[in-house]
Amino acid sequence: MTNPLLHNERLPAFSKISPEYVEPALDHVLEQSKQTVHNLLASLVEPTWESLVLPMEEMDASIDRVWSPVSHLNSVMNSDELRVAYNACLPKLSEFGTELGQNEHLFNAYKKLAESEHYSELDTAQKKVIDNAIRDFRLSGVELSQADRDSFKQISQQLTERTAKFEENLMDATHAWKKHITDKSLLSGLPPSTVAMAEQFAKRDELDGWVFTLDFPSYMPVMSYADNREFREEMYTAFATKASDQGPNAGQWNNTDVMTDILKLRHELAELIGFESHAHRSLATKMAQSPQQVLEFLTDLAERSKPIAEKEFEELKAYAKEQGHSEQLESWDVTYFAEKLRQQRYSISQEELKPYFPEDKVVQGLFAVVNRLYGLEINERHDIDVWHKDVRFFDIFDSEGELRGQFYLDLYARNHKRGGAWMDECLVRRQIEGGIQTPVAFLTCNFSEPVGETPALFTHDEVTTLFHEFGHGLHHMLTKIHHAGVSGINGVAWDAVELPSQFMENWCWEREALDLISGHYESGEVLPQELFDKMIAARNFQSAMTMVRQLEFSLFDFRLHLEYQPDQANQVDKVLAEVREQVSVVQPPKFNRFAHSFSHIFAGGYAAGYYSYKWAEVLSADAFSKFEEKGIFDRQTGLEFLNNILEQGGSKEPMELFIAFRGREPEIDALLRHSGIAA
């Protein structure tokens, strides 16, 4: 039978991809790619865009066609067999990538191209592709001695294996723990929708009663509403000790040594290519100019936010005391009493909003918002092969009727799917034989599924998450650049990549937009004005506490990678304790092992880059302030954002693009105003 990963359909044949096809397909395409490089260099006389860059781009695309669907399935439909196949391929990919990055002849060809007359005739985007390639060769150790290059290759392979292990441990630990309840009294305080979902989970496991899991839609309502303190503590303990040496599954799937290995390997790689630390190396591809600039930015925000956060926490403790809570306020009490205080102060809860945000209304409303901003039409397709029955597929057309992008939408949490929400590339926009390749995105979330006959109902937080990921998706799909290296999110400085995503979140708070995205699942009534007013009033409830929590993550990540010392033990704990002392107002219990599940930095692309969320939030708040001035659905402003930001991909520096849209450099005031911290 033909291997579906090599059978050149445009979209992956997900229903036909099984684990036994993975390794043979990758072996085949890597062998072909090595041959391509060999033939290219053997016949290359004068490097030009056509003779050098395009064949390399085509080669990368052939590998992506095999690996992108495999990597995606490993995240959303994980199985033991797929995991074995996936892990067998990682060292091969790492080795190939390093050898390519250290190919001197290829490096010299790119340098020669950059110094040629031909280079001056290329457009800005093409020049950026070549400049980035030369930078990346250097970051891959092309200029090292042979012995150091060998070390680089070996370290890169180990690092790939360890980051994959971190993610596996976290997924296994998350799905290994369940709380089965038969005592109805433990459900006191929980919303009916949460109870119904827990009952559905129990039935699925052929159990009586209710089952709760560590997936966010199950975990968060317990933290927010469960009256039984022991139940909250048990759930919190299991959640806060995932993949660690503590908690109910202590020592199983333990990420302690994995984190140590990852930090050590990253530091060694950075030093090999002449950087003081992984943080320094990380900034080579970012907007921020120096570690000092990042630390000053985060520290400044912390100094402005912490006094307000302390005041908020004192209010919370006083309120809990009034409610008869005589003990110390622990981490498993904070969300619970915060939710009660929010309800007392604003008479509103996430739960109360859920009936107004049924899945179909939210999704169609999101499409209506981008239609008003950019003139896009989005239509569902039912003839596309998907990996799970709940996955949907859509086409995006612009106002001229041109197909601009397509995306898969996978919204619900389930077993064998990694947690969180993300956008990933299936296909990038690029010039191919016969025209332009349409970009395709994977949009993945972990929301509550439909329960019984009731449609999936989203919290307002989940609606905001969907808008966030769709912002990434638009950045990927609406690009007008057709050189893969700087198309969509490619080549975009990592600390600017969150601009389009955080920017989209703003519409979730605007009355005009909420009229499009809300509609009661029974009556169809849009979100009532009274609820909207309460929601806006409560928007910045404990926003300083939220701010310092994000700053804790950012400072911990950055300092950990900046200050790492190979000869010191327990650096994760030490740095985390120091950062918490500096910025946190809620001190978690000793057994808390937050770092062990911080996959953004230990398994994702955010190592020494988590600060990007705050950095880009300054950009997005300031960008949105232009819509606040002109009107949130002002088409002219929408088209300016589309033309200057979304369509440009990574073809120019982010600051240049921002200034083209805003007319000036970004200012922090809008972020402080939106967060309620300026006041």
Decide: helix, strand or coil at residue 496.
coil
Shared-domain flag, residues 627 and 585: no
Q: Which helix (H) or strand (E) holds 31?
A: helix 22-43
- As for how many domains the chain has, the answer is 4
Question: Is the confidence at residue 567, as pLDDT, over 80?
Answer: yes
pLDDT of the residue at 335:
98
Tell me the CA end-to-end span of the chain in Å, nearest whole number: 66
Residue 593 belongs to domain spanning: 256-348+543-610
Shared-domain flag, residues 298 and 184: no
- For 389-457, give the secondary structure using H, E and C: CCCEEEEEECCCCCEEEEEEEEEECCCCCCCCCEEEEEECCEEECCEEECCEEEEEEEECCCECCECCE
Shared-domain flag, residues 593 and 623: no
User: Which of 143, 162, 192 is a domain's end point?
Assistant: 143
Shared-domain flag, residues 579 and 624: no
6 domain residue, yes or no: no
Query: What is the token pair recorded at 387?
Result: 């990996």
Shared-domain flag, residues 333 and 434: no
Shared-domain flag, residues 19 and 130: yes
167 domain residue, yes or no: no
Question: Is the confidence at residue 676, as pLDDT, over 90?
Answer: no
Query: What integer is the mean pLDDT of 505-524?
Result: 98
Query: Cα–Cα distance between 101 and 615 in angstroms, integer?
Result: 30
- Asked if residues 66 and 29 have their Cβ atoms less than 8 Å apart, the reply is yes
Q: Which helix (H) or strand (E) holds 379?
A: strand 377-381
Shared-domain flag, residues 662 and 529: yes
Shared-domain flag, residues 507 and 519: yes
> Which residue matches tokens 């309502």?
221
Give the residue from 385, 438, 406 showing the smallest Cα distance to 7: 385
What is the DSSP secondary-structure string of 260-313? HHHHHHHHHHHHHTT-SSHHHHHGGGSS---HHHHHHHHHHHHHHHHHHHHHHH
Strand intervals (E) in 102-242: 178-181, 210-213
Read off the pLDDT band of 679 (50, 70, 90). Answer: low
Q: How far is CA 176 from the centre of its chain?
A: 24
Query: Cα–Cα distance between 517 and 69 in angstroms, integer?
Result: 31
Q: What is the CATH number of the domain that holds 101?
A: 1.20.1050.40
pTM of the model: 0.96
Query: What integer best gives the mean pLDDT of the chain?
Result: 97
Q: What is the CATH number of the domain that holds 435?
A: 1.10.1370.40
Query: What integer is the mean pLDDT of 546-572?
Result: 96
Q: How large a percentage of the chain has pLDDT more than 70? A: 100
Query: Cα–Cα distance between 317 and 334 in angstroms, integer?
Result: 9
Query: Cα–Cα distance between 327 and 317 in angstroms, integer?
Result: 10
Question: Is the confidence at residue 1, as pLDDT, over 70?
Answer: no
Half-sphere exposure of 90 (CA within 13 A, CB side): 19
User: Which of 143, 169, 186 is a domain's end point?
Assistant: 143
Higher pLDDT, 676 or 240: 240
Higher pLDDT, 288 or 676: 288
Q: 137 to each of 63, 101, 130, 278, how far by Cα in Å?
A: 19, 5, 11, 17
pLDDT tens track for 278-333 = 999 999 999 999 999 999 999 999 999 999 999 999 999 999 999 999 999 999 99
Shared-domain flag, residues 567 and 457: no
Shared-domain flag, residues 365 and 337: no
Query: What integer is the mean pLDDT of 212-217?
Result: 96
- Where in the sequence numbering do the catalytic residues fall? 469
pLDDT tens track for 413-467 = 999 999 999 999 999 999 999 899 999 999 999 999 999 999 999 999 999 999 9
Shared-domain flag, residues 52 and 32: yes
Query: What integer is the mean pLDDT of 654-677?
Result: 94
User: Which of 610, 629, 650 is a domain's end point?
Assistant: 610
Angle of helix 612-630 versus helix 635-644 axis, rounded to 10: 150
Shared-domain flag, residues 40 and 127: yes
pLDDT of the residue at 677:
86
pLDDT tens track for 123-181 = 999 999 999 999 999 999 999 999 999 999 999 999 999 999 999 999 999 999 999 99
pLDDT tens track for 466-500 = 999 999 999 999 999 999 999 999 999 999 999 99
